[in-house]
Chain A
Amino acid sequence: MEQNAHMDEKQPFLKVENLKVHFPTQDGLVKATDGLSYALDRGQTLGIVGESGSGKSVSSSAILGLHRGTNAKVEGRILLDGVDLLALNNAEMRKLRGKEIAMIFQDPLSAMHPYYTVGNQIAEAYRVHHKVSKKAARTRVIDMLELVGIPQPDVRFDSYPHQFSGGMRQRAMIAMALINDPSLLIADEPTTALDVTVQAQILDLLQNLQREFNTAIIIITHDLGVVAEMADEALVMYAGRAVEHGRVKEVLTHPQMPYTWGLLSSVPDITGDPNARMVPVPGNPPSLLSPPTGCAFHPRCVHRDKVPGDLCTTELPDLVPGPRGGLHLKRCHLADPESIYQNEVIPEIAPDLAEER
Chain B
Amino acid sequence: MTEYDEATAAASGPSLDAVLAQAHAPAQLDPNAPPVLTVRDLEMHFPVRSTGVVRRKIGDVKAVDGISFQIPKGGSLGLVGESGCGKSTAGRAITRLYKPTGGSVEFEGRDLAKVSNRGLKPLRREVQMIFQDPYSSLNPRHTVGSIVGAPLRIHNVVPKDQTLKRVQELLEVVGLNPEHYNRYPNEFSGGQRQRIGIARALALQPKVIVADEPVSALDVSIQAQVVNLLQDLQREFDIAFLFIAHDLAVVRHFCPEVAVMYLGKIVEIADRETLYSRPNHPYTQALLSAAPDVKQAAIGGRRERIRLEGDVPSPINPPSGCHFRTRCPLAREICAKVEPPMLQIGPRHKVACHFAGELGQHPADPVTARILGVDNAGNPDPGASPVELDDQPGFSDVWFDLKARTTVKP
A278 with B20, Cβ < 8 A, contacts A204-B307, A283-B6 known: no
Contact in complex: B297, A253 (CB < 8 Å): yes
CA A278 to CA B192, docked complex, whole Å: 19
Within 8 A of A (CB), among B8-59: 9-10, 13-16, 18-20, 22-26
A270 touches which of B10, B248, B302 (Cβ 8 Å):
B248
- Whether a CB of chain B sits under 8 angstroms from the CB of A111 is no
From B22, B286, B302, B303, A197 is in contact (CB under 8 Å) with B286
Question: Which of B144-152, B287-295, B372-380, B400-408 has 4 or more CB atoms under 8 Å from chain A?
Answer: B287-295
Query: Total A-B pairs in contact (CB under 8 Å)?
Result: 186
Verify if A165 is at the interface (C-beta below 8 Å from B).
yes
Are A278 and B23 in touch, CB under 8 angstroms? yes
- Decide yes or no: A262 and B298 within 8 Å by CB, A197-B287, A275-B25, A348-B20 being known contacts: no
Asked if A200 meets B307 with Cβ closer than 8 Å, knowing A249-B298, A268-B250, A277-B24, the reply is: yes
Contacts of B311 in A (CB 8 A): 165, 167-168, 198
Contacts of A249 in B (CB 8 A): 297-298, 300
- Bound CA–CA A52/B217 (angstroms): 11
Contacts of B19 in A (CB 8 A): 279-280, 282, 302
Asked if B4 lies at the interface with its beta carbon under 8 angstroms from chain A, I say yes
Give the chain B neighbours of A74 by CB distance below 8 A. none
Minimum Cβ distance to chain B for residue A7 (Å): 20
**Among residues 338 to 360 in chain B, which have CB atoms less than 8 Å away from a CB atom of chain A?**
none
Q: Is the CB of B82 within 8 A of A196?
A: yes
In the assembled complex, the CB of A166 is this many whole angstroms from the nearest CB of chain B, namely 7
Asked if A224 and B294 sit within 8 Å, CB to CB, the answer is yes
In angstroms, how far is the closest chain A Cβ from the Cβ of B10? 7
B221 at interface, CB cutoff 8 A: yes
Check if B222 is an interface residue, CB within 8 A of chain A: yes
Inter-chain CA distance A284–B20, complex, in Å, is: 17
- Indicate whether A9 reaches chain B with its CB closer than 8 angstroms: no
Q: Are B191 and A284 in contact (CB under 8 A)?
A: yes
A266 engages B276 (CB within 8 Å): no
**B305: CB under 8 A from chain A?**
yes
Docked pose: A57 CA to B287 CA in angstroms: 29
Chain A residue, CB-CB nearest to B253: A268
B13 with A197: CB separation less than 8 A: no
Contact code string A265-305 (vs B, CB < 8 Å = 1, else 0):
11111111011111111111100000000000011111111
Contact A263 B220 (CB under 8 A): yes
Interface residues of A in 282-338 (CB under 8 A from B): 282-285, 298-305, 312
Within the complex, what minimum Cβ distance (angstroms) separates B290 from chain A? 4
Given A196-B82, A263-B220, A274-B276, A282:B290 Cβ within 8 A: no
Report which of A199, A272, A299 forms a contact with B290, defined as CB distance below 8 A.
Answer: A199
A313, chain B: closest CB distance, angstroms: 8
When the two chains form their complex, are residues A201 and B307 in contact, meaning their CB atoms are under 8 A apart?
A: yes
CA distance A183 to B13 in the complex (A): 45
Residues of A within 8 A of B22 (CB): 279-280, 282
Residues of A within 8 A of B253 (CB): 268, 278
Q: Are A280 and B224 in contact (CB under 8 A)?
A: yes
Taking the closest CB of chain A, its distance from the CB of B367, in whole angstroms, is: 25
Cβ B273 vs Cβ A274 within 8 A: yes
Residues of chain B within 8 A of A348, CB atoms compared: 20, 23
- CB pair B13 A304 closer than 8 Å: yes
Inter-chain contact A283/B9, CB cutoff 8 Å: yes
Known A-B contacts A267-B220, A268-B252, A277-B24; the reply to A302 vs B14 at CB < 8 A is: yes
Q: Please name all residues of chain A whose beta carbon is closer than 8 Å to the beta carbon of B23 when the two chains form the complex.
A: 265, 277-280, 348
Expressed in whole angstroms, the minimum distance between the Cβ of B97 and any Cβ of chain A is: 23
- Across the interface, which residues of A come within 8 angstroms of B117, CB to CB? none
Central interface residue in B224, B253, B286, B303, by most chain A CB within 10 Å: B224
Interface pair A252/B224, CB less than 8 Å apart: no
Q: Which of A165, A204, A267, A278 meets B24, CB within 8 Å?
A: A278
Contact B220 A283 (CB under 8 A): no
B219 within 8 A of A: yes
What 0/1 readout, one digit per residue, does chain A (226-266) give for beta carbons within 8 Å of chain B?
11111000000000000000001101110000000011111
Q: Known: A229-B302, A268-B250, A275-B26. Contact between A280 and B228, CB under 8 A?
A: yes
Interface residues of A in 176-202 (CB under 8 A from B): 195-201
Say yes or no: is A120 at the interface (Cβ < 8 Å to chain B): no
Tell me which of A248, A274, A277 contacts B272 (CB under 8 A).
Answer: A274
Q: Indicate if B168 sits at the interface (CB-CB under 8 A).
A: no
Q: Mark B255-272, 1 if CB is under 8 A from A, else 0.
A: 000000000000000001
Which of these, B220, B252, B287, B293, contacts A51 with CB under 8 Å?
A: B220
Is B225 in contact with chain A by the CB < 8 A criterion?
yes
A24 — which chain B residues lie within 8 A by C-beta?
Answer: none
Residues of B close to A278: CB separation below 8 A: 23-24, 224, 227-228, 253
Contact mask for chain A residues 13-49; partner B; CB cutoff 8 A; 1 contact, 0 none: 0000000000000000000000000000000000000
Any B CB within 8 A of the CB of A114: no
Residues facing A in B54-74 (CB within 8 A) are none
**B276 is contacted by which of A167, A270, A282 (Cβ under 8 Å)?**
A270
- Flag whether B382 is at the interface (Cβ < 8 A): no
Chain B residues with CB under 8 A of A253: 297-298
Q: Does A158 sit at the interface, judged by CB under 8 A?
A: no
Within 8 Å CB of A346, what residues of B?
none
Given A204-B302, A269-B295, A280-B228, A195 and B246 touching (CB < 8 A)? yes
Partner of A264, one of B189, B292, B294, B300: B294
A269-B293 contact in complex given A275-B26, A284-B192, A299-B10, C-beta closer than 8 Å: yes
Nearest B residue to A259 by beta-carbon distance? B221
Binary contact track A151-162/B, C-beta < 8 Å → 1, others 0:
100000000000
Q: Is A222 at the interface (CB under 8 A from chain B)?
A: yes
A: which residues have CB within 8 A of B?
51-52, 151, 165-168, 195-201, 203-204, 207, 222-230, 248-249, 251-253, 262-272, 274-285, 298-305, 312, 344, 348
16 A-B Cβ contacts within 8 A? A225-B293, A228-B294, A229-B292, A249-B297, A263-B220, A265-B23, A272-B295, A274-B273, A274-B276, A276-B26, A280-B228, A282-B4, A282-B22, A302-B18, A305-B13, A348-B23
Name the 6 nearest CB pairs between A and B, nearest first: A225-B292, A252-B297, A266-B224, A280-B224, A281-B221, A228-B297
